[in-house]
Amino acid sequence: MSRLTTHVLDTANGIPAAGVAVRLYRVEIDRRLVASTTTNADGRTDEPLVADAAFVSGEYELEFDIGPYFDARGNAPGETPFLQTVVIRVSLDASRHYHVPLLASPWSYSTYRGS
């Protein structure tokens, strides 16, 4: 089954990041919203962001609203987190499975192609 999945880890606190808004856009000439969801208690989405026939090869952008997540945790008292929305642009082949995790703190992030 071809699909795109994700999860978010809070590296500042060493926990899954629950309640992070996630949006997936397909980028062609324009930018079209494909999926919008929120991470669960495990920092994962309940369903793949896109799968099977709805999954088309091309460029995509994943947006993660981590600023509001860290604001709600109170990790930067009196200070707004430096990062608000993390955007990751990737090229995907719809015949494959992709897992794109986000490891984030209020000040930095990293990602990789997971399995």
Q: How many domains does the chain have?
A: 1
Cα gap 58→99, rounded to integer Å: 16
Counted residue by residue, the chain has a size of 115
What is the pLDDT, as a whole number, of residue 74? Answer: 79
Query: CB–CB of 54/48 below 8 Å?
Result: no
What is the pLDDT, as a whole number, of residue 61? Answer: 97
pTM exceeds 0.85 for this model: yes
Alpha-carbon Rg for the chain, nearest whole angstrom, is 14
Query: CB–CB of 94/55 below 8 Å?
Result: yes
> Which residue positions in the chain have pLDDT lower than 50?
none
What is the pLDDT, as a whole number, of residue 76? Answer: 57
- Structural domain range at position 77: 3-111
What is the pLDDT, as a whole number, of residue 78? Answer: 64
What is the pLDDT, as a whole number, of residue 75? Answer: 64
Residue 18, H or E segment: none
What is the pLDDT, as a whole number, of residue 115? Answer: 78
What is the pLDDT, as a whole number, of residue 44? Answer: 97
What is the pLDDT, as a whole number, of residue 24? Answer: 97
**Residue 20's domain is classified under what CATH number?**
2.60.40.180
Cα gap 115→35, rounded to integer Å: 21
